[in-house]
Amino acid sequence: MYKKINLLFQIFPNIFCYFKRRVAFFLFFCYNINRKVDGLMKKIICLFIIFFLASCGKKEDVIENMIDLSTLNREEILSYATSKKLDLKIIEQYDIKIPKGEFISQSILPNEKLTGKKELTVIFSLGKDPSVYKEYKINELGRIPVMMYHGIENKKNEDTPYTGGNIDKDGYQRTAEAFRADLEFYYKEGYRMIRLTDYVDGIIDVPFGYSPLILTFDDGLSNNIKITGKDEEGNLIIDPNSAIGILESFKKKYPDFQVTATFFINGGLFGQREYNVEILNWLTSHGYDIGNHTYSHANLEKTSISATQNEVGRIYKILEEILPGKYVNIVALPFGTPGSFSNPNFKTILDGTYEGMTYHTKSTLRVGWESDYSPFSSTFNAQYIKRIRAYDNNGVYFDIEYSFKQLQNNRYISDGDKNTITVPKEQEEKVVNKNGLSIVTY
Ligand SMILES: [Zn+2]
């Protein structure tokens, strides 16, 4: 019985109040009828009662709630408003975060009661106010730093005889202290990391007003990701003072830093025979990339075609076996050679065959000495990319401080939308738009 009543209330949610009122009405009449009214009148009154009961639950004051309009288009919103007898007003306004044409807000919130509401205002985005591009100096033709690191040693800066945390004269090896300071510096200067392979492909995804930064590590040194053992569940234990240990701690400290890096390996992989394969898998499943630094760290300036194919192809073959389809087809050129893109060996570095496996290299990296161009710039050569040597030289000769000072005038500053290329109007003709993105000028 209880279940049946419950079901009745579900079907006619407002039946209860009507029912009560009608029953009271009915009883009142019955009282009078019994005393002085005849049979015909009783029948008429019975008809009235049937009418009242039948009208229960159908009455006009059923409570309705507002719906979420954010998934509807303008036409659908208009027909919804008309059906609810609401005066619809659509406003468009600039918004720094919400792309042009998208929904921003509704004056009557979802689930709010519509009773007594007459007006509904819906706001759509006009995209960013063009004046903000100027204010933030948005320029997606600006330059991008690709940092070249090698080893990170667990030392303090005061433990080395060289300046600013360099372990050798040229700063190829750096202390953990110096590397941490570098990362703090990049973060505070408004740089956010992107993958090297995305840079080459023209996919730049950093927030509005920020600049992209790329980290690379050559030589597959064991201090890039030093494994000290395994925990009870069989997971690799990574030395917190190796490059990956430090990068992982920054991932936690600054979740918006977009921490990533590309590691370029030789035949010895990461120099940790029992863990090498697991390391490669760990890196690719934790947002890092692996590239090719030739099998024996060869100087490809004067090697024969077959030697060049062996050096490049053998690493691709190893990577294909361990990480099928998960590595990047990018070669960091050992010693930065060939020193010229017109060197005949380049053809073989880019395309060749090794033990029946054909390879294609989409990009090569040079050694030093400055930031490179935007991938949307007509001057960008994706197959031959410049890097900044990540070292300290007291702010001179193309060290980190020097290079980032240069970048203050010409750095890439993102519009926050990877599907648009935003540039000052006078630079529009320099844009090369291979991916068919929308171009915004101001
Ligand atoms: Zn190297």
pLDDT digits (tens, 9 = 90+) for 84-128: 999 999 999 988 888 889 999 999 999 999 988 899 999 999 988
pLDDT in tens, 398-418: 999 999 999 999 999 999 999
Q: Cα(257) to centroid of ligand 1, in Å?
A: 27
Q: Cα(265) to centroid of ligand 1, in Å?
A: 8
At 39, the pLDDT band (50, 70, 90 cuts) reads confident
- Specify the CATH class of 74-127 in words: alpha beta
For 138, residues 6+ apart whose C-beta sits below 8 A from its C-beta are 132, 208, 209, 413, 414, 415, 422, 442
Q: Cα(150) to centroid of ligand 1, in Å?
A: 8
**Which region among 63-67, 149-153, 376-380 has the lowest average model confidence (pLDDT)?**
63-67
Predicted local distance difference test score (pLDDT) of residue 50: 62
pLDDT (mean) for 387-402? 92
Q: Checking DSSP bridges between strand 438-441 and strand 420-423, what pairing results, if any?
A: parallel
pTM of structure: 0.77
- Tokens representing residue 425 in the block: 């109007």
DSSP characters over 65-110: BPPP-TTS-HHHHHHHHHHTT-EEEEEEE--SSSPTT-EEEESSPT
Q: What is the number of alpha carbons within 13 Å of residue 43 lying toward its C-beta?
A: 2
| For the chain, domain boundaries | 2-54, 74-127, 137-441
Q: Cα(300) to centroid of ligand 1, in Å?
A: 12
pLDDT in tens, 336-360: 999 999 999 999 999 999 999 999 9
Question: What distance in Å separates the CA atoms of residue 183 and residue 194, rounded to the nearest whole number?
Answer: 14
Predicted local distance difference test score (pLDDT) of residue 394: 87
Predicted local distance difference test score (pLDDT) of residue 96: 81
Q: Cα(219) to centroid of ligand 1, in Å?
A: 5
Q: Cα(197) to centroid of ligand 1, in Å?
A: 19
Report yes or no: 162 and 138 within 8 Å, Cβ to Cβ: no
Predicted local distance difference test score (pLDDT) of residue 369: 86
CATH of 137-441, one of 3.40.50.2000, 3.20.20.370, 3.40.50.720, 3.30.565.10: 3.20.20.370
Q: Cα(297) to centroid of ligand 1, in Å?
A: 6
Looking at every residue in the chain, the average pLDDT score rounds to 90
Q: Cα(336) to centroid of ligand 1, in Å?
A: 8
- Residues above pLDDT 90, as percent of the chain: 78
- Please list, residue by residue across 91-108, b when 16 or more beta carbons sit within 10 angstroms of its beta carbon and e when fewer do: eeeebeebebeebbbbeb
pLDDT in tens, 185-202: 999 999 999 999 999 999
Q: Cα(155) to centroid of ligand 1, in Å?
A: 21
Q: Cα(159) to centroid of ligand 1, in Å?
A: 24
Q: Cα(221) to centroid of ligand 1, in Å?
A: 10
Question: What distance in Å separates the CA atoms of residue 259 and residue 280, rounded to the nearest whole number?
Answer: 17
